A and B are shown apart, each in its own frame.
Chain A
Amino acid sequence: QSVLTQPPSASGTPGQRVIISCSGSSSNIGSNFVYWYKQLPGTAPKLLLYRNDQRPFGVPDRFSGSKSGTSASLAISGLRPEDEADYYCAARDDSLSGPVFGGGTKLTVL
């Protein structure tokens, strides 16, 4: 059971906006930055957002992040077929002195 809680699945049609939530606690999301990763089957996770809402170079602005209290969310606008993947949130947990991950959300583009 993961420390951060994500919905196991999400879906949308091309062009739609999808939001994936990530719920934690005061020891992780509530007091640290949130990171988001995209993972395609058989590959390593790829950083999508860091420090809650910062996009690495090359990540399109269709991807955005926000954080409020002990929850965070990833929004994907203008959904594309290539967005179909597993998405994970992560944050440092002060009580564990290390990072924790969400259980992952499988995004299906219908």
Chain B
Amino acid sequence: QVTLEESGPTQVKPTQTLTLTCTFSGFSLTTSGVGVGWIRQPPGKALEWLALIYWNDDKGYSPALKTRLTITKDTSKNQVVLTMTNMDPVDTATYFCAEYSGSGFNDHWGQGTLVTVSS
């Protein structure tokens, strides 16, 4: 059974750095073709892809947010960490992590974590 779970702060202040952890089970990030990505969804708005990391440590970032994002993995802990710098109230959103198959996110998503950016 594949599971993913996001964890991190529920609230950060403007200009702070957000660090989110995705802890997963049921698959391995050492398996060829496997990736884990982060997606966010502001309240009432659409899904937005943020970052991806693959089994071979290749990484991809949304061009719009590339300068603020870093994605890393710890295969020994089955975790993927996303950091986003210089947080702003417009970054208030539910942040999801999901397993990526190479051509799309499959049916394995975390439940999401709501992050509010407010002073």
Question: Measuring CB to CB, which residues of chain A are less than 8 angstroms from any residue of chain B?
Answer: 2, 32-33, 35, 37, 43-47, 50-51, 56, 88, 90-92, 96-104
Q: Hey, which chain B residues are within 8 Å of A100, CB to CB?
A: 49
Q: How large is the interface on B (under 10, 10 to 19, 20 to 34, 35 or more residues)?
A: 20 to 34
Distance (whole angstroms) from the CB of B107 to the closest CB of chain A: 4
Query: Quick check: A44 and B104 within 8 Å, CB to CB?
Result: no
A32 to B98, CA, bound (A): 19
Q: Hey, which chain A residues are within 8 Å of B109, CB to CB?
A: 44-46
Q: Is B46 an interface residue (CB 8 A)?
A: yes
Residue of A nearest to B112 (CB): A44
Q: Hey, which chain A residues are within 8 Å of B47, CB to CB?
A: 37, 45, 88, 90, 101, 104
Contacts A/B (CB < 8 Å), 28 sampled: A2-B46, A43-B111, A44-B98, A44-B110, A44-B112, A45-B105, A45-B109, A46-B109, A50-B101, A50-B106, A51-B104, A56-B106, A56-B107, A88-B46, A90-B104, A90-B105, A91-B104, A92-B103, A92-B104, A96-B60, A98-B49, A98-B51, A99-B37, A99-B49, A101-B47, A101-B49, A102-B46, A104-B46
